[in-house]
Each structure stands twice: as C-alpha cells, then as structure tokens.
Structure 1
Amino acid sequence: MTGFAFAELTSPQVGELLTAARRPVLLLPVGSVEPHGPHGPLRTDELISTGVCERAARRLAGDPELRVLVLPALAYGVTRYSAAFPGAVSISEDTLCGLVTDVCQSLVDGGFRHIVVVNNHLEPEHVAAIRRAVAAAGVGYLDILRRANAERLTEEFRSASCHGGRYETSLVLADRPDLVDTGVMARLPEVHVDMAAEIRAGRTDFVAMGMDRAYCGAPAEATPDEGQSTFDKLTEMLVEVIREVAGRR
C-alpha cells in the first residue's frame, strides 16, 4: 500500500498534509476477528474493509483536490454471535464506540477534519456502536446496510444469508486467495439462514440460527471475479462518501 498508508509517513510528512493544496481525507477500516466457516479467515471483515479503502485511495490517487490515505485498521469488534467457535474475539460495544470515537477525535484535534469510517462486520450491536461513534466524532461513514447501498450489492448480500458465503468468500478470493481453504470451500453445501429474520426473532448466536459450521450462504459458488465486481461497487460507494465528506467545511 505504499503511498496510501497514513502510518507509513513520517511526522513531518503528516504535518505537510495539513498545509498542502490537496485536502487530506483519512479512511479508517474496521472489522472483526471472527469465524467465517471452516474455509475463510478470521480477519475476513477487516480484510474487506481494508481492501475497499486501499482501492478508493488508488482510484483517487490522481485527484487534484484530494489526498486519500488509509489509517491502520481496527481489527476487533463486537462478535458475540460466533462465540461458540474457536477464534472469536469480542470487545464490548462501549469499548468499540470509545475506540472509534477517540481515534477519530484525536485526528480531528490534530487538524484532520475529513475522516470516513469503513466497516464490514455487520453484527447489529457492532453496527450500532459504530454509528454512535461516527455521530459523536462528526465523521463520515460508509454504511453498506443503508437500503440505497445494499441494493447495489449482490443477491446473496441482500438475502441476509451471507456470512462466510458466496458474497464474503468471493471478496477474500479477489484480495487474498491464499487465505481461503478452497478445497474445503468447494465441498460446502449451501446453508440458507435469513440472519436478519433470526435476529428479529431473538436468536443471537450462530448455532441457534442453524449455522453449525459458522457460515451461511453458498461459499462453494464464490469466485474471484465476483469478488472483484463487488469490490468495484463498494469502492464506488466509498468514493461517493469521500467526496461528500471532503465537501464539508
């Protein structure tokens, strides 16, 4: 990510951003450490968030008005639904909200007023904490659960049966295929679980929802091409948010 990573700059180089002609916009990827089936990496959500941020920074590299940089990712989130499986690491809603708020507020206090949080871990309590944080800090947020955004994504995503399935696995295959156990992936049957409906019914863990291998959807149908197409759509959404945030005074 040479050229786009905020934390790879020196302190004087960061200082120069504040007086440069191009307005700096900082992107904060957020994810989780959480099981994504027997085939996908624990860092799936963070990997997707970081991948979208990097692609947006590259897409805007030649923009004459904006300088887009990617902050170090926040890899931990509220992940209680997967607690029955090895590898789940959860923090509290207050910890997550406080961490995102503090990071953003510190940057704002340092002169960086244009920040966008990018999150791809969609456990409801996690999302609520992120929304509280961006509101408290007054920064931007790529909210892929907004209807207008969700409608631009894949059929599996819109079905709400997409944890470690075709949607997420395709994204990982497009970015880090070495992290997917494709031999296992190819043998996995489709598991249809409407997670949104299950959550509304009061079920708050994967096993109770019928996800006894920590996935739902159709991972065996995942392809790098679909993942790249989805990354393109997510990147378009993020660029739109970046331009909106950069236009604020």
Structure 2
Amino acid sequence: MTAFADLTSPQVAELLSGTRTPVLLLPVGAVEPHGPHGPLGTDEVISAGMCGRAAERLSGDPDVRVLVLPTLNYGVTRMGAAFPGAVTVSESTLHALVTEVCGALVAQGFTRIVVVNNHFEPAHVTTLRKAAAEAGVTYLDLVRRHNAARLTEEFRSGSCHAGRYETSLVLADRPDLVDTDTAATLPPVPVDLPAAMAEGKADFVAMGMDRAYCGDPAGASVAEGQSTFDTLTDLLVETIRGVA
C-alpha cells in the first residue's frame, strides 16, 4: 500500500511510531491543453506516475516508508487559456493549498515531505518553490540544470509541451489517454519555451503553438516514456534519501 489516503487513522499513527522514517510525496499537476492528442491532466499523470514508482521501488526498504498523498490537480496555468479545458488557479490559492496541506502534516510529525511537480509555467514553479520553502518541505525542482541535464534532449531544448517527452511519459503510464492516431499526424513544432517567455510572450498562441503543443509528439514511444520514468524515479529516490 503506497497511497496515504488509503490508510486508516490508526495506521497513520503507526507510521510515526514505527522504525522506518516516513516520507510523504505530494504530486502536483495542472489542468491545461496538451495538444489535440494529449489529456488535460498530462502533468498530473507524470507527477503521480513518478511518485508511485518511487514508492514501489522503496517498498521493501528497511529505513524509509514512502507514501503518496492525493494529487493536487490544479495549478497556475494561464498560458493555455485560449484553448478549451484550461483551468487556472491564482498564485495565492496554490500557495495556500501547498502550505496548508503540508503544514497540517508537519504539525502531526510528518516533517519529511517532497513536492513533486511536472507543470513548468514560471508563475506556478515560483509559487511552489516559495510555498515549499515556507512550509519547511522539499521541492524536487526538475528544471534546475543539474536535474534537467539527466532528462531527454527534447526536455533540455525547452520545446517540450505535449511533445515527444510528455507524450512518451503518458503513453508509458496511461496509453488509453493518448490519441495516438492524431499524434502520428502532428508535425514537429520547435518552440524554445524559456526563450519565448524571456521575450515577453505570455501565451501559447503568441509563442506559435496554435494547437497547444510544441516538440515532436509523433516521435513519442512507450519505450522512451519508460526510460524517462526510470530517470525521473531515480531523481525522486535520491531526493527521498536526502530528506530521510
């Protein structure tokens, strides 16, 4: 059992009195368009997928007990507002959710919490960094150079919204959510997202993403997704070891 919410209250109490150090993972995503082929919940799928894999990998560890908290599905996501399905919350709402959820757990003695996010809109990331620091918990920052360097070429290029990188990950975890027929017809759309944002472009349309994707979704594969999940899980397990 790796889901925190599946436990009973007495089982939660046992976590704190046991010999294994409890580490809780908080997956964070967003509800936003991911091209004509990918689910709105792509970021959530990736965050929950890597958390579940890390918890399973450490399930028999004698020193650490890892449990996954319910996913926080909503985030700051204004860049896709021109497309149906985008649901944003404000920075203050996201900040309050993360600090209050983590604060409630820390007050009970769960001081080792890792926030795991795969939605990289700058306002969202900045908010999570601040909230984690204020709550006294850890934020696994995948866009930091030392972490990004271990991920795929498309991820490092910055042209990776609903492209090969993200589509491969969803194919590896929830293939039923990907419209593979449509994905196969999509041409590559090279957009350096960090550079575009640095130029002041604030939405997908202005960046040239008129179908809410960039990168190469037609090049996605289950094999790449599985390999990338292995790397993401390595990064998360290393973070868990660091906080435990």
The answer, yes or no, to whether TM exceeds 0.5 is yes
**What residue is the counterpart of 1:181 in the other structure?**
179
> d(CA) in 1 for partners of 2:144 and 2:193?
16
Quick check: 1:100–1:134 contact (8 Å CA) kept in 2?
yes
Q: How many residues align?
A: 244
**What residue is the counterpart of 2:230 in the other structure?**
232
> d(CA) in 2 for partners of 1:240 and 1:137?
21
Q: CA deviation at 1:98?
A: 1.1
Q: CA deviation at 1:125?
A: 0.2
> d(CA) in 2 for partners of 1:231 and 1:174?
8
> d(CA) in 2 for partners of 1:83 and 1:173?
25
Q: CA deviation at 1:141?
A: 1.3
**What residue is the counterpart of 1:27 in the other structure?**
25
**What residue is the counterpart of 1:136 in the other structure?**
134
Quick check: 1:78–1:123 contact (8 Å CA) kept in 2?
yes
Deviation per CA, 1:176-221, whole angstroms, max 9, x where unpaired? 0000000000000000000110000000100000000000000000
SS at match of 2:205: helix
Amino acid at match of 2:61: D
> What TM-score does the superposition give when structure 1 sets the normalisation length?
0.98
Quick check: 1:141–1:241 contact (8 Å CA) kept in 2?
no
- Structure 1 unaligned segments of length 5 or more: list them: none
> d(CA) in 1 for partners of 2:66 and 2:215?
34
> d(CA) in 1 for partners of 2:204 and 2:139?
27
**What residue is the counterpart of 1:14 in the other structure?**
12
Q: Counterparts in 2 of 1:170-209, with a 5 A limit?
A: 170-209=168-207
**What residue is the counterpart of 1:159 in the other structure?**
157
Q: CA deviation at 1:140?
A: 1.0
Moved over 4 A (4+): none
Amino acid at match of 1:135: A
> d(CA) in 1 for partners of 2:56 and 2:14?
20
Deviation per CA, 1:135-163, whole angstroms, max 9, x where unpaired? 00111111101100000000000000000
> What TM-score does the superposition give when structure 2 sets the normalisation length?
0.99
Amino acid at match of 2:70: P
SS at match of 1:132: helix
Q: Counterparts in 2 of 1:88-107, with a 5 A limit?
A: 88-107=86-105
- Structure 2 unaligned segments of length 5 or more: list them: none
Quick check: 1:80–1:90 contact (8 Å CA) kept in 2?
yes
Deviation per CA, 1:5-55, whole angstroms, max 9, x where unpaired? 000001111111110111110000000000000000000001100000000
SS at match of 1:29: strand
Q: Counterparts in 2 of 1:93-132, with a 5 A limit?
A: 93-132=91-130
> d(CA) in 2 for partners of 1:147 and 1:191?
23
Amino acid at match of 2:237: V
> d(CA) in 2 for partners of 1:197 and 1:117?
26
SS at match of 1:207: coil
